[in-house]
Amino acid sequence: MLPFTRPSIGEAEQQAVQEVLASGWITSGPKVQAFETALADYLGGGVQVRLFNSATSALEAVLYASNIGAGDEVIVPAMSFVATANVVVRVGATPVFVDVDLLSRNLSADAVAAAITEKTRAIMPVHFAGRAVEMTPIYSLAEKHGLLVIEDAAQAIGTRYRHQKIGASGNPVCFSFHPNKNITTIEGGAVACADASLLARLERIRFHGISRDAEGNMDVTEWGGKMNMPDVSAAMGLVQLGRLDGFNRRRRELARRYLENMPEHPALILPQDVEGHSWHMFCICLDFNRLATSRQQVQQQLAQAGIGVGMHYPAMPGFTLYQQQGNRLEDYPQAARIGEQTMTLPLFPDMRDEDVDRVCKAMEAILGGAAK
């Protein structure tokens, strides 16, 4: 069975983990510091990095550290993994959804501008599947309205926007190292930013609110949670980071092969290969209004051919929690359409060219047999 994704874990990761396990210090310590420095160097832009146990924790901590809470609104795309909206709810604020573009699956500055109210405090763009949001107009809009930009770059490690890495901009940018992501620490996340006082607060918030003076005396000056990354994970992250550009090159090769070999069909919408894309996922849409089949049937046919797919994602305003907050799925037609028609085809660095060809042939046969 060809899965839709699989992490590339080799000897070097296993040895790095083994060394930490044998060292006697397995939770946050020197490997976390080393990974923070290495990741900041990789991103460039003079930013610093603080590691977390997930991107969800990282996003939550940034919102909390930015004093965003009850009565505040945060603009998020209607199409993302639900963590993007859940973290806003977690700090007591309200996620305000905006619709996305059908092809890029990203929000636009125009959509954001139309959603700004007196309560808006932050914009949280998501770089969907590794494709960068058009950020320049978002930064201008944020500056004009005095808003914070918190980037959910969970899917965008290694993505470039206008020749700069996502994460190098200086405003808070959060990454995920979940096993499905372009590099993994099993579970893990990071914040990159250039604001020293925000970084200091993030350090406290990720570990019980504790701060220490020069003599090492402990004080607790504010609330903090338990969101730190262990050294075992950081050691793995250090090795994975060294492999990231190679992984992303291979992802792009495979994506291009898909784009060259997928059948042309009026019901099939393919993703676009744009500059700087890190190809976290290869997500297609199938217009089932034009096909005599359903997504479930296509999924079953692919499974019979030994091919696994993912569904990324149901549109967030359709979830019960967000319906209860007064959202209506029909107000987000593109996100709703993606939610119903999306399918994530296999894409991971250890895939072979023949695997791509096999998926393309299977898709051709399925679409050929589903004429209306």
Ligand X SMILES: Cc1ncc(COP(=O)(O)O)c(C=O)c1O
**In the range 35-74, which residues lie near ligand X by CB under 6 A?**
54-56
Is the CB of residue 50 less than 8 Å from the CB of residue 202?
yes
Per-residue binding string, ligand X, 109-138, x by CB under 6 A, is: -----------------x------------
Tell me the one-letter amino acid at 89: V
Peptide linkage before 161 cis (omega within 30 of 0): no
Structure tokens at 234: 């950081």
Q: How far is the CB of 154 from ligand X (least distance, A)?
A: 3
Sheet holding 48-52, edge to edge: 48-52, 189-193, 173-176, 151-152
Q: How far is the CB of 9 from ligand X (least distance, A)?
A: 17
- Three-state DSSP class for residue 211: strand
First to last CA, the chain: 30
**Is 361 one of the catalytic residues?**
no
Q: Phi, psi (5° rounding) for residue 218? A: -90, 140
List 165, 181, 226, 361, catalytic entry: 181
Give the binding range for ligand X (CB under 6 A) out of 36-44, 136-144, 150-158, 262-270: 150-158
**In the range 227-286, which residues lie near ligand X by CB under 6 A?**
none
Instruction: Check residue 104 for interaction with ligand X (CB under 6 A).
Output: no
Instruction: Check residue 105 for interaction with ligand X (CB under 6 A).
Output: no
Q: How far is the CB of 148 from ligand X (least distance, A)?
A: 17
Instruction: Check residue 224 for interaction with ligand X (CB under 6 A).
Output: no
Structure tokens at 194: 């250039």
- Residue-level length of the chain: 372
Strand partners, 176: 189
Q: How far is the CB of 316 from ligand X (least distance, A)?
A: 11
Q: Between 87 and 262, whose beta carbon lies closer to ligand X?
A: 87
Give the binding range for ligand X (CB under 6 A) out of 152-160, 246-254, 318-326, 342-350: 152-160
Q: What share of the chain is helix, strand, coil (3-state, %, to 5)?
A: 40, 15, 40
Q: Phi, psi (5° rounding) for residue 196? A: -60, -40
Q: Between 81 and 247, whose beta carbon lies closer to ligand X?
A: 81
**In the range 310-339, which residues lie near ligand X by CB under 6 A?**
none
**In the range 165-194, which residues lie near ligand X by CB under 6 A?**
176, 178, 189
Task: Work out which of 84, 108, 182, 184 binds ligand X, going by CB under 6 A.
Answer: 84
Distance CA(49)–CA(192), nearest Å, equals 4
Please list the active-site residues. Answer: 181
Residues that bind ligand X (CB under 6 A): 54-56, 80-81, 83-84, 126, 152, 154-155, 176, 178, 189
